[in-house]
Amino acid sequence: MNIIEIISKKRDKEKLSQEEIEYFVNGYTKGEITDYQAAALVMAIYINGMDYEEIKNLTIAMANSGETLDLSDISKTIIDKHSSGGVGDKITLIVMPIIASFGIPVAKMSGRGLGITGGTIDKLESIPGYKTDISLDEFKNNIKEIGISLIGQTKDLAPADKKIYALRDTIACTDSIPLIASSIMSKKIAAGANKLVLEVTCGSGAFMKEEKEAEELSRLMKKIGELAGIETICVMTNMNQPIGRAVGNSLEIEETVESLKGNIAEDVKQVVLTIAGYILKLAGYGEDLNENKKRAWEKIQNGEAYKKFVQLIEKQYGDVKYLEDIKKAKYIIPIKAEKSGYVVNLQAENIGKASITLGAGRMKKEDEIDHTARNNS
């Protein structure tokens, strides 16, 4: 078996065997397969797709490419949440402190920006000092001590996804059902949760532009989750417009802080409370979604969710004083409408593209991003 044969097979629309998929994943993780060969195969998968068996095998090979975490000594129920990505999507940053303030352990591994969508890790790294690359021991300790830890993918956990994710970002291979499903689910399987809520975004600012595609992605991830013994709920959310009031890394931290203090945009509130409601359901708080949403809202109103967020930032070496005085972009240029009227629609995709052009995302894998670059709606 060799990588050139595997690339040609997928190029010619043939099905890859489990052994071929494992050969690629392990070889690329170890650096034996080059970036350009991996890029060719990923592009062939993007163009010609994969069937369920191939996607399942890719997911499992990626999950097994590094360590898998066992968090059963922390709690019997470990809850995780993931979004398929969107423009202005700061939901994780608001939901997870709410959940941790209930005493439910939150062990969250997030990603960087991908394509036009922002990444939770890039947002957190806009806070001076915040470390997203702590060791797995420290990750577990933080969960034990303060009930929450939020980190980036370590080099030990699903390292194949880390490499393929960064590669996809720079070769226009982000919006592919097999690649998204395997990327998300490999991380979730490796990270040790047994209950999972997935926010599957749909619309102009998401990878899935049509509801039909978002449904297909949801069904696929639920099936893979259940195969891996993870109880999985998918919530489809509208991403035709950027969510909330801000797009851009540091500005979304500012919006997170405001939201956790109760000054929350209506669309953000709806999504946050719905996701939190389902997480509470999985954590045993009962089937009544409206009751669970009320419980979650109380945590914002009584300040406990914000307190938990500050605790998280402090525990991971972030400067908490910064949260009250967030760095602004060097140049701020207001663009005024030429005539009066009402804004009825904002093109999420174009706003995402503009943010990347301003420096909020990457053109090459190695690119540094400008955390202050943003679009303010």
Could you give the string, one character per residue 77-116, with x where binding to ligand URA holds by CB under 6 A and - elsewhere? Answer: -------xx-------------------------x--x--
Nearer to ligand URA, 139 or 297 (CB): 139
What is the enclosing helix (H) or strand (E) of 106?
strand 106-110
Task: Select the span of 123-131, 176-184, 267-275, 280-288 touching ligand URA (CB under 6 A).
Answer: 176-184
Cα angle value 67/69/72 (rounded, 5°): 155
Select 22 or 80, whichever has its Cβ closest to ligand URA: 80
Min. distance of Cβ 301 from ligand URA in angstroms?
31
DSSP 1-38: --HHHHHHHHHTTPPPPHHHHHHHHHHHHHT-S-HHHH
State how far the Cα of 158 lies from the Cα of 189, in Å rounded to an integer. 9
173 binds ligand URA (CB under 6 A): no
Select which of 187, 195, 295, 362 is catalytic.
187
> Interface with ligand URA includes 167 (CB under 6 A)?
no
Taking the complex as a whole, how short is the minimal distance between the CB of residue 3 and ligand URA, in angstroms?
A: 22
Which one from 168, 299, 308, 315 is the annotated catalytic residue?
Answer: 168
328 is catalytic: no
65 near ligand URA, judged by CB under 6 A? no
Which of residues 236 and 257 has its CB atom nearest to ligand URA in the complex? 236
* Closer CB to ligand URA, 153 or 194, in the complex: 153
Rounded CA separation 252/88 (Å): 7
- Whether residue 183 lies in the annotated active site: yes
Contact yes or no for 147/201 (Cβ under 8 A) = no
State yes or no: is 307 an active-site residue. no
Per CB under 6 A, the segment of 21-29, 50-58, 179-187, 235-243 that binds ligand URA is: 179-187
Among the options 80, 89, 122, 161, which is catalytic? 161
**Rounded CA separation 26/23 (Å):** 5
Q: In the set 25, 160, 177, 184, which binds ligand URA (CB under 6 A)? A: 184
Task: State the nearest-atom distance from the C-beta of 100 to ligand URA, in Å.
Answer: 21
CB of 179 to ligand URA, least distance (A): 6
Site for ligand URA contains 183 (CB under 6 A): yes
266 CB-near residues (< 8 Å, 6+ apart): none
Output the smallest distance, CB 308 to ligand URA, in A.
24
Q: Which region, judged by CB under 6 A, interacts with ligand URA, from 73-81, 175-183, 244-252, 290-298? A: 175-183
**Which pairing describes strands 374-376 and 231-238: parallel, antiparallel, or unpaired?**
unpaired
Sheet containing 79-83: give its strands across. Answer: 148-152, 106-110, 79-83, 195-202, 231-238
Q: Is 120 in the site for ligand URA (CB under 6 A)?
A: no
Rounded Cα gap, residues 264 and 268, in angstroms? 7
Spatial contact of 248 and 372, defined as CB atoms under 8 Å apart: yes
DSSP-assigned letters across all residues of 302-349:
TSHHHHHHHHHHHHTT--GGGGGSPPPPS-------SS--------HH
Query: How far is the C-alpha of 50 from the C-alpha of 53, rounded, in Å?
Result: 8
For position 205 contacting ligand URA by CB under 6 A, the verdict is: no
Contact 269, 235 (CB under 8 A): no
Mark whether 269 is an active-site residue: no
Crossing angle (nearest 10°) for helices 18-30 and 52-63 = 30
180 lines the binding site for ligand URA (CB under 6 A): yes
Pick between residue 60 and residue 300 the one whose CB is nearest to ligand URA.
60
Task: Look at residue 287 and give its three-state secondary structure.
Answer: coil
Residue 10 annotated to the active site: no
Nearer to ligand URA, 208 or 265 (CB): 208
Closest to ligand URA by CB, 183 vs 316, is 183
What secondary structure letter does DSSP report for 360? Answer: I
Q: Which residues form the interface with ligand URA (CB under 6 A)? A: 84-85, 111, 114, 165, 179-180, 183-184
- Annotated catalytic sites, by residue? 82, 161, 168, 183, 187
